[in-house]
Structure 1
Amino acid sequence: MRIFPAVDILGGRCVQLVQGKRESATAYGDPLSCAHRWLNAGADALHVVNLDGAFGESAKNAELIRALVKDTGVEIELGGGIRSVEDGGRWLETGVTRIILSTLAIQQPESIRTLAQEFGSERVMAGVDARGGLVAIHGWQETAGDYIGWAKTFEQLGAGFLLYTNVDVEGLQKGIAAGPVRQLIGNVRIPVVVAGGVSGRADVATLREAGAYGAVLGSALYSGKINLSEALEESG
C-alpha cells in the first residue's frame, strides 16, 4: 500500500486545515521544504492540494506546484480547484502523475471520460468526498447523492483511481471510520486511496487489510501523532 504525505498549499504556504475550513489553517512553512522533508524520511509519493484553487483561485500557486513536480520527480496526485477539462489537461501537462476531479466530476461527469481518453485512465482520479454517506461538493458545503453510486459511475466513465475522503473524520486526528472504506472498496474494481482520519499505525494496518491502494497522511503527520517511518513500515 502506498503512503501519500499531504502537501496542502494555501497562499504559497504548506498548511493543514480542520474539516476543510480555511480559518482553521495551521501553517508549516514552504511547500517544497515540506515535500522534501517527507521524501527524505522515506516517502516516494505525495498528495498535493491547491487549496487556493479549492477556494476559487485556481491559478494561484501554479508556478510553485510546477516547481514541486519538477524538483521532486515522484508520484504526485494533485487536486484543488480543477473546474474544467482544460484545467485538468493543463495540470497533467505539468507532469503530475494524476489529477483529482471532485466537484467537476459531479457537475460534469463526462469530463472524466474526456480526460481519460486523452491522457489515460491511470492519470484521472475521481474524488469521492463523503459526509454521512453522501458525496460532499463545493468545499464540502453541499451534498449530492450516495457515495457508492457515484463511485461506480466514476469507474464506468473511465476513472483509473478513486480518492475517498471521509469528511466526518477529516482533520480531527481521531482515527478512520473503517466501515465506509470497506464498503467502497468492495463495490469497485479500481484502486482506492483513502484520506481522512488516518492518525496511527493501526489505521494504516486497517486500510492495508481492507485492500486500499494508498493512504493520505495529513494533520496527524504534521502534528506528530503519526510517525511516517512507522506508517511506511505498516503499509507493507
Structure 2
Amino acid sequence: MSFEKDKMLIMPAVDIKGGKCVQLVQGKPGSEQVVIENPEKVAGRWESLGSEVLHIIDLDGAIDNNTNLPVIKKILKEVSIPIQLGGGIRTVEYAKTLLDLDIERLIIGTMGITNPDTITELSNEYGSERVMISLDSKDSKVVIKGWQEQIDKTPAELSLEFKNHGAGSILFTNVDVEGLLGGFYIDPVLNLVESVDIPIVYSGGISSIDDIKKLSTTGAQGVVIGSALYKEKIDLKEALKYQ
C-alpha cells in the first residue's frame, strides 16, 4: 500500500485496550466511550465496507507497555487489506517482530523521537515506505510517552529531521481536538504539509463528511477516523467517496 499524490486514504481506526476495541477521549485511560468485543471482527467489518487500509493502535502498549500482540495477530488473519500499526513500540527488536508479521507500515512515536537512529535502522532494513513517524501535537508542541511529556519543538520543525532519518511518512495527530468530535484545525495540517514532501496522514477531531471534504483540500494523503465512525456521525461508504 503506497500513498498516491492525489488520493487521501480513508483509514478506520481500531484502537485496542484490554483485548477490546475502544475509543478514548484524548487518549485518557478511563475515558472509554466505545467498547466492543472481538476487535478482529470490527476490523473485518471495515474491510467489508470498502476500506483499503486499517489504522490499528495498541493502546495498552502505548500507555503501560502491556501489548495486545495476540489480538493483532487475529486481525492479521481476519483481514486481507494492509494494516498500519502503532502503540508501545519501544525497541527495535519489537518493531522488527511486527514488521516480520507483515504489518504493512509501522508507526513509531517516542522511540523514534528520542532515538532517531532507530528510524534509520528500520528504514534501511525494511524500506522507508514501511516506517511512519508519529508527530503528536498539543498546544502546537510535540508530545511523547502517551501524550504525557511535551518537547519544545513543533511538528513542522521535527518533520524534516525525520525525513532525513528515513521515515517514509508522518502521522500527525492534533491532541487538542482528538476524540472530541468537534472538528479539526486546518492551519496546522497545511503548515505540516507545506514543510515536508513526504506523505502526511492526519488524525484528530474528524467528525463529519464536511471535515473530510475540507481535509481533502490540504494535500494530506490519509485521514484516520475513529469515534465519528463508531458513533455513526460519519458513514464509511460516504467517506470513501473522498478517497
TM range (shorter): over 0.9
- Supply the AA of the counterpart residue of 1:231: A
- Supply the AA of the counterpart residue of 1:169: V
Whether the aligned pair in 1 keeps the contact of 2:44 and 2:78 (CA below 8 Å) is no
Gap runs ≥5 in structure 1: none
1:32 is matched with which residue? 40
Pairs aligned (count): 234
2:107 is matched with which residue? 100
Counterpart selection for 1:53 from 61, 77, 97: 61
Q: Distance in 2 between matches of 1:229 and 1:210?
A: 21
When normalised by structure 2's length, the TM-score is 0.94
- 1:219 aligned to 2:209? no
Counterpart selection for 1:88 from 92, 95, 109: 95
Q: Distance in 2 between matches of 1:168 and 1:66?
A: 32
2:119 is matched with which residue? 112
How far residue 234 of structure 1 moved from its aligned partner, in angstroms, is 2.3
2:29 is matched with which residue? 22
Deviation string 1:118-138 (CA, Å, 9 cap, x unpaired) is 000000000010012100111
How far residue 71 of structure 1 moved from its aligned partner, in angstroms, is 2.5
RMSD of Structure 2 on Structure 1 (CA): 1.0
Deviation string 1:170-189 (CA, Å, 9 cap, x unpaired) is 00001111100010001111
- Could you tell me the percent identity over the aligned residues? 44
Counterpart selection for 2:216 from 201, 208, 213: 208
Whether the aligned pair in 1 keeps the contact of 2:199 and 2:220 (CA below 8 Å) is yes
SS at match of 2:228: helix
Q: Distance in 2 between matches of 1:160 and 1:153?
A: 12
Gap runs ≥5 in structure 2: 1-7
Counterpart selection for 1:173 from 164, 175, 181: 181
2:71 is matched with which residue? 64
How far residue 209 of structure 1 moved from its aligned partner, in angstroms, is 1.1
2:238 is matched with which residue? 230
**Which has a greater percent of strand?**
1
SS at match of 1:92: helix
Q: Distance in 2 between matches of 1:120 and 1:212?
A: 21
When normalised by structure 1's length, the TM-score is 0.96
SS at match of 2:182: coil
2:139 is matched with which residue? 132
